[in-house]
Amino acid sequence: MDYLLTDEQKMLRDMAAKFTANEITPVAAEMEKAGRFPHDILKKAGELGLMGITLPEEYGGGGMDSVGYMLAMEEIGKGLASLVLIMSTHISLAAGSIHKFGTDEQKQKYLPDLCSGKKVGSFSLTEAGAGSDAAGLKTRAERRGDTYLINGTKQFCTLDPDCDNVIILFALTEPELKTKGISAFIIDKSMPGWRVGKKEHKLGIRTATTSELIFEDCEVPAANLLGEENQGFKYAMIALDSGRIGIATQALAVAKASIEAATEYAKNREQFGKPIAALQAIQWMIADMNTEYDASWLLTYRAALMKDQGLRFSREAAMAKLKASETASFCADAAIQIHGGYGYTEDFPVERYYRDARITRIYEGTSEIQRLVIALNSMK
């Protein structure tokens, strides 16, 4: 798809590909098996400017567009899909929300450290009773003078307790208003009253540590209210539009890695006296994988391009995320089929791709929610 890209976008993509080959691919399988958070890799990514790709240069960001971000994340995700989740959350949801809705003081305080990778950003919306239905939120934030006291428990937050974390947290400030009474806050380690609870043991993306967060009279300065009070739900939906481009890109990375692994294996694996790549059954699977991947890539590219042009892209981001996530599962499944019994073992990476693909149809909006977003936006 190079004919669609600028020279600057190609350079960023190639730099990310080199970084992946040197720093990620050699350790990916071991890190994922151990479920170890990639502290060293994130630090090196920060040194290269990859932790603030789309943020303005005045804060230490790369000043790149969303298409460049998409290209870099895909290359990184081909090495380890977990990293795209961590970096997409960090860049699009956390740092991106502060840049879009924060005060000048908040931007100056948090964005330079986020862009450098010194701090790692997280996004905390989900609760036990509030997944797809944000109206089920129970976490409360009560104003006490110049402080908010926050109480509640959050789930499925991509966060490692050993990092210097910056969390975009959503809590009810006026519960009777439901979604219209949700506010957003910037939480950091300096604030007493919050801790990391249970760590989830997951099917895939194990390097991206997923934990619950527990807030017990957590004292948050009023200066850390993000944007206006009771506007948090709107901010979350805007952030998730951008986040869905990141998750679509993660899915593209899994799909592309599956295609590359399956193609290489088919060329070298012999059955019936010839490489299985010569068999029509295998060729058709590879043809379908590539077709689905290209369609997903173009949908994601369109969403990123529309964002860069300042156009409304909720519908397009949902389409990209829906299609790419289903393509990732399709390609990973086909890659295992092409590998045969070996594909079901840990000796080959396709079993990891299969596990990593599945979550992309769930987080940042399930496939069912994406269809709802697409339908509602298509009927306006």
pLDDT tens-digit series, residues 35-58: 999 999 999 999 999 999 999 999
Find the CATH number of the domain harbouring 371: 1.20.140.10
Provide the residue range defining the domain that includes 366. Answer: 240-378
Return the biggest CA–CA distance within the chain. 79
The overall average pLDDT reported for the chain is 96
**How does pLDDT run across 126-161, given as a tens digit for each residue?**
999 888 887 789 999 999 999 999 999 999 999 999
Same domain, yes or no: 175 and 98: no
What is residue 1's predicted lDDT score, i.e. its pLDDT? Answer: 79
Q: Taking residues 241-255, what's their average pLDDT?
A: 97
Q: Which of 203, 232, 261 is the last residue of a domain?
A: 232
What is residue 132's predicted lDDT score, i.e. its pLDDT? Answer: 85
Whole-number percent of the chain with pLDDT over 70: 100
Q: What share of the chain is helix, strand, coil (3-state, %, to 5)?
A: 60, 15, 25
CA nearest neighbour of 92 among 303, 280, 347: 303
Same domain, yes or no: 270 and 168: no
Q: Taking residues 85-95, what's their average pLDDT?
A: 97
Buried b / exposed e over 313-329, threshold 16 CB at 10 Å, is bbbbbbbbbbbbbbbbb
- CA pair distance 49, 116, nearest whole angstrom: 7
Same domain, yes or no: 310 and 218: no
Domain count for the chain: 3
Same domain, yes or no: 113 and 127: no
Q: Is the pTM of this model over 0.85?
A: yes
**How does pLDDT run across 197-232, given as a tens digit for each residue?**
999 999 999 999 999 999 999 999 999 999 999 999
- Report the SS3 class of residue 154: strand
Active site residue ranges: 364
Whether the pLDDT of residue 380 is over 90: the answer is no
Whole-number percent of the chain with pLDDT over 90: 97
Same domain, yes or no: 244 and 373: yes
What is residue 148's predicted lDDT score, i.e. its pLDDT? Answer: 98
Q: Taking residues 334-363, what's their average pLDDT?
A: 97
Same domain, yes or no: 147 and 36: no
Same domain, yes or no: 329 and 249: yes
140: CB partners within 8 A, 6+ apart: 150, 151, 152, 171, 172, 173, 175
